[in-house]
Amino acid sequence: MTVARSRARGAALAALVAVEEGAHLDRALRKSDFLAGKDARERSLARRIARGTLQMRGRIDWILERVLERGNPEDLDIRTRNLLRIGLYQILYLSSVPSRAAVHETVRAAREAGGEPASRLVNAVLRGVLREGVPEGAPSLEEDPAGHLSVALSCPRWLAARWVSRLGVPATASRLEAANRTPPLSLRVVRDGDLDRVAREIEKEGRKTRRSRISPSVLLLPDGGDPTVLRSFREGRVLVQDEGAALVGSLAGPLPRGARVLDCCAAPGGKGLPIAASAPGGLLVAVDCSLWRMGRLRENLARLRLDNVRTAVADALNLPLREGTRFDAVLVDVPCTGLGTLARRADLRWRVREEDIARLAALALRLLRAVADAVEPGGLLLYSTCTTEPEENEETVARFLREDGRFRMEPPEVQVPDGALAPDGTVRVLPEIHGCEGAFAARLRRVRDGCARSVSH
């Protein structure tokens, strides 16, 4: 057991180093050399340590700056820095492992990864924190609310300042607390009427389930765990998808029988494939510019055994469609900052930069302009994101509608949670209010043919 625990910390270290060198956490953890061959408990512990350390990195680094003799963790080599973060995360937040055992195993992992000098430093720092306690003196909430929240709840200062300015201190604190929770495993049942049967099967497999209050097509597994061991997953009846994302995906419906649907930015297929599964006789054309992400969509497509989906690797800004090709519905789930998904994507808060918001909002508007002609007159254009930022959401949609007079906002035809329908007709769910990922959608109906009323670039 001791060696296994040490290996789990070694796997977590490898993932954290990969993230700091530019990898995404999910991709780093999926790499076979990190976790292959390890048992379920070891994989679970490695994932929990890697994910939790990234979530709380802001506060952990603030503590390290005060207990390191040289002052700045960035001055250390990348492995030692992340070993210290792993050790502090366990001491401060991982109640299931006794602190002294966590220190012992982290020092062992440091010896294996960095030799005696690294293990001596890790041992000295972590035992010093155990002996003397966590340093005090964080920024005052009254005098520096953004500084206080960025340390206490672990996020970049620019993001805390942005949310404090727009939302105020209490709502910002609530949003960050939601970002630091451990979300349940969320499974979208892809075929209508199958939810009760899937729930019974999962419960027979020894896992607890509960229905989502946000999306009627979603089952939640509060204890998490590996979805790939479930029969319903192997048989292609569920997709791993947050309930907020599932809700906005459902806003495309109901569609007429035999509908032709274009799913731009489609991979990995969470929004488009359930439409295809619920629309026999129809056709879904799934397009994405990322070869790696399209590979994941094709994995999901094969598992779900859908024969009414066609795929293409292509850029939605320049769709390879014949002149005059139109669809009954076009989904455009645009690239965005993803700032509504911090609870599930622990590395994201350290990856996104403030300037990305304006850059991605401009890209989203370009995508709307590029795909608008592919919507059949009378058809639907569904715009969606997984961010909470107005520039990428309401402001982008409002600008598109001002420019293109062929489209008007249309309210959803499915029930949405209380507080999710905005006065302008858009739908948004927020982590601190609805308890799921933040997500946004707008249903835009093409009400007439012809050219755009005006376009300003």
pLDDT score, position 166: 97
What's the rounded mean pLDDT across residues 408-415? Answer: 91
Mean pLDDT (the chain) is 90
Q: Is the pLDDT of residue 32 over 80?
A: no
For tokens 């946004």, name the residue: 440
Q: Where is average pLDDT lowest: 32-46, 212-226, 375-389? A: 32-46
Containing 365, the helix (H) or strand (E) segment is: helix 354-371
Kind of pairing, strands 309-313 and 283-288?
Answer: parallel
Q: Is the pLDDT of residue 2 over 60?
A: no
Kind of pairing, strands 439-446 and 427-429?
Answer: antiparallel
**On the CB side of 316, how many CA atoms lie within 13 Å of its CA?**
30
pLDDT score, position 3: 44
The model's confidence at residue 456, banded by pLDDT at 50, 70 and 90, is very low
Q: Is the pLDDT of residue 21 over 80?
A: yes
What's the rounded mean pLDDT across residues 378-392? Answer: 97
Q: Which two tokens stand for residue 7?
A: 């290996």
For tokens 């790499």, name the residue: 31
Q: How far apart are CA 295 and CA 168, in angstroms?
A: 42
Q: How far apart are CA 313 and CA 15, in angstroms?
A: 29
> Is 386 part of the annotated catalytic residue set?
yes
% of the chain residues with pLDDT over 70: 94
Q: How far apart are CA 303 and CA 284, in angstroms?
A: 16
The model's confidence at residue 38, banded by pLDDT at 50, 70 and 90, is low
Q: Which of 319, 359, 315 has the alpha carbon at shortest distance from 337?
A: 359
- DSSP letters, 135-174, are ---PPPTTT-HHHHHHHHTT--HHHHHHHHHHH-HHHHHH
pLDDT score, position 310: 94
The model's confidence at residue 33, banded by pLDDT at 50, 70 and 90, is low
Q: Where is average pLDDT lowest: 149-158, 173-182, 272-281? A: 272-281
Helix, strand or coil, per DSSP, at residue 185: strand
Both ends of the chain: CA-CA distance in Å? 62
The model's confidence at residue 186, banded by pLDDT at 50, 70 and 90, is very high
The model's confidence at residue 455, banded by pLDDT at 50, 70 and 90, is very low
The residue annotated as part of the active site, out of 155, 289, 336, 386, is 386
Q: Where is average pLDDT lowest: 7-16, 80-89, 340-349, 378-387? A: 7-16
pLDDT score, position 382: 96
Q: How far apart are CA 164 and CA 149, in angstroms?
A: 9
**Tens of pLDDT, residues 84-130:** 999 999 999 998 888 888 898 889 888 888 778 888 999 999 999 99
